[in-house]
């Protein structure tokens, strides 16, 4: 589960999970990190959490982060799990607590696969050629979370809430990206379907001056078939663009075409500041109550429209501040 930097070289390593209860309009995002910068003596580990809640037309975002020296990160059971201060994560459970001046967040959650699907975002050839140096995996696309969350004095319970778990590591963060995930799609009859979307549109920097074009890789699981658009050949069948906090995409494989739109109102996003291994800043605008609509075509005929309504993860990360979104961390 964990990765170790060699000879104290720069390393950014992150585990991230999200779960959502569409009926309660509640969602939780947790992030656990190790950061070794160009000043390895100042290496840190951090725990992050945001709880999203929609009541009527109001979106509330409760955000908290704690920072510790790297020595507070402890591998357990031969790197199969870890602990950071009062927080822990393994293959079946996460528990912990975080505190700020106004927020106490405590959780005890178990999770199990609804189905076992993982995804490697980085095309193998780009990794082999060292164009992309990072590893980005969704460890499981389709998890069921149960347990409790205590926000200050309010107790919230989850019973088979849908979510995912991912892992990322590399010597430097991507330059900019958009990412989205949902496994809460309903069909036209308002019935939950066996559909998953997980995609990233990203660019990286080569050296100090060259920035690559954006590339989009994605997974779409539909009607018991998993379509993986993560090879250079598959990338030629994917189109996407991002504008005004909305991501549009189209992906084709054989006789199947998927056309989608991902968005959220600007007030649904929480702004977060990340530090890269070279001490530069990234600004992540994060929502767990976004919407994804996918039109599915077979041989050019529309066969299904699928909607994850205000139940999808969606973030856009850039190197400049978006003045329209409040930075909560």
At 227, list the tokens.
């379509």
Dump pLDDT digits (tens) for 209-222.
778 889 999 999 99
Q: How confident is the model at residue 224 (pLDDT cuts 50, 70, 90)?
A: very high
In 3-state terms the chain splits into helix, strand, coil percentages (rounded to 5) of 5, 65, 30
Q: How far apart are the C-alpha atoms of 112 and 143, rounded to whole Å? A: 6
> Hey, how many other C-beta atoms are within 10 angstroms of the C-beta on 54?
15
Q: Which of 86, 83, 90 is nearest to 98 (CA)?
A: 86
The DSSP output letter for 80 is T
Structure confidence at residue 80 as a pLDDT band (50, 70, 90):
confident
CA 305 → CA 23, 47, 190, distances in Å? Answer: 20, 37, 11
Is there a domain that residue 326 lies in? Answer: no
List the end-to-end C-alpha distance of the chain, in Å, as a whole number. 26
User: How far is 66 from 18, CA to CA, in rounded Å?
Assistant: 18
Q: In what helix (H) or strand (E) does residue 243 lie, and over which residues does it extend?
A: strand 238-243
Residues 11-38, mean pLDDT to the nearest whole number: 96
Q: Residue 208 — very low, low, confident or very high, per pLDDT cuts 50/70/90?
A: confident
Q: Is residue 188 part of a domain?
A: yes
**Core vs surface per residue 10-26: b (16+ CB within 10 A) or e:** bbbbbbbbbbbbbeebb
**Which has the minimum average pLDDT: 36-40, 141-145, 224-228?**
36-40
pLDDT tops 70 at residue 78: no
- Per residue in 285-305, pLDDT (tens digit) is 999 999 999 999 999 999 999
Could you tell me if residue 229 is inside a domain?
yes
Separation CA 147–CA 109 (nearest Å): 4
323 occurs within a structural domain: no
**Which residue is associated with the tokens 């992906």?**
251
How many other CB atoms are found less than 10 A from the CB of residue 253?
15
b (16+ CB within 10 A) / e for 309-319: bbbbbbbbbee
Residue-number span of the structural domain to which 218 is assigned: 6-318
* In-domain check, residue 276: yes
Q: Is the pLDDT reported for residue 171 higher than 90?
A: yes
Per cent of the chain over pLDDT 70 is 97
Alpha-carbon dihedral sign for residues 189, 191, 194, 196: positive
Q: 75 or 184: which carries more pLDDT confidence? A: 184
Compute the distance between CA of residue 51 and CA of residue 244 in angstroms, rounded to an integer.
Answer: 24
Question: Computed from CA positions of residues 325, 168, 71, 82, in that sequence, does the dihedral angle turn out positive or negative?
Answer: positive
Q: Please classify residue 232 by burial: count the beta carbons closer than 10 Å to its beta carbon, then call 0-12 exposed, 13-18 middle and 19+ buried.
A: exposed
Contact 190/184 with Cβ under 8 angstroms? no
Output the CA angle 138-141-143, nearest 5 degrees. Answer: 125
On the question of pLDDT at 5 being above 80, the answer is: no
pLDDT for res 6: 53
Residue 83, in any domain of the structure: yes
CB 204, CB 216: distance < 8 Å: no
Predicted pLDDT at 40: 86
Residue 166 resides in a domain = yes
Q: How confident is the model at residue 266 (pLDDT cuts 50, 70, 90)?
A: very high
Say how many domains are in the chain: 1
Cα 39 to Cα 2, 44, 171, 282, distances in angstroms = 21, 11, 13, 18
Say if 148 falls within a structural domain. yes
3-state secondary structure of 107: strand
The larger pLDDT score, comparing residue 284 to residue 132, is at 284
- Indicate if the pLDDT at residue 7 is higher than 70: no
Question: What is the arithmetic mean of pLDDT over 64-87?
Answer: 91
């Amino acid at each position: 589960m964990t990765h170790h930097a060699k000879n104290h070289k720069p390393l950014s390593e992150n585990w991230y999970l999200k779960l959502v209860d569409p009926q309660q309009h509640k969602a939780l995002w947790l992030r656990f990190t190790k950061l070794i910068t160009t000043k390895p003596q100042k290496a840190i580990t951090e725990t992050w959490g945001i709880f999203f809640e929609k009541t009527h037309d109001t979106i509330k975002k409760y955000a908290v982060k704690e920072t510790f020296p790297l020595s507070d990160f402890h591998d357990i059971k031969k790197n199969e799990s870890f602990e950071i201060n009062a927080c822990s994560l393994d293959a079946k459970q996460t528990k912990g607590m975080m505190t700020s001046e106004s927020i106490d967040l405590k959780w005890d959650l178990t999770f199990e696969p609804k189905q076992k699907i993982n995804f490697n975002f980085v095309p193998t050839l780009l990794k082999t050629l060292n164009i992309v140096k990072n590893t980005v995996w969704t460890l499981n696309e389709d998890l069921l979370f149960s347990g409790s969350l205590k926000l200050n004095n309010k107790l919230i319970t989850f019973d088979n809430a849908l979510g995912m778990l991912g892992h990322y590591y590399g010597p430097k963060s991507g330059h900019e990206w958009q990412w989205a995930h949902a496994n809460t799609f309903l069909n036209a009859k308002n019935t939950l379907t066996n559909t998953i979307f997980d995609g990233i549109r990203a660019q990286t920097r080569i050296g100090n001056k060259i920035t690559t074009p954006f590339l989009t890789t994605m997974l779409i699981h539909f009607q018991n078939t998993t379509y993986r658009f993560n090879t250079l050949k598959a990338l030629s069948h994917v189109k996407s663009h991002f504008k005004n906090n909305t991501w549009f995409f189209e992906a084709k494989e054989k006789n199947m075409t998927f056309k989608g739109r991902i968005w959220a109102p600007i007030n649904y996003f929480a702004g977060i500041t990340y530090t890269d291994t070279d001490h530069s800043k990234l600004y992540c605008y994060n929502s767990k109550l976004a919407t994804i609509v996918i039109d599915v075509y077979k041989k050019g005929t529309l066969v299904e429209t699928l909607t994850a309504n205000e139940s999808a993860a969606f973030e856009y990360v850039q190197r400049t501040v978006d003045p329209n979104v409040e930075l909560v961390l």
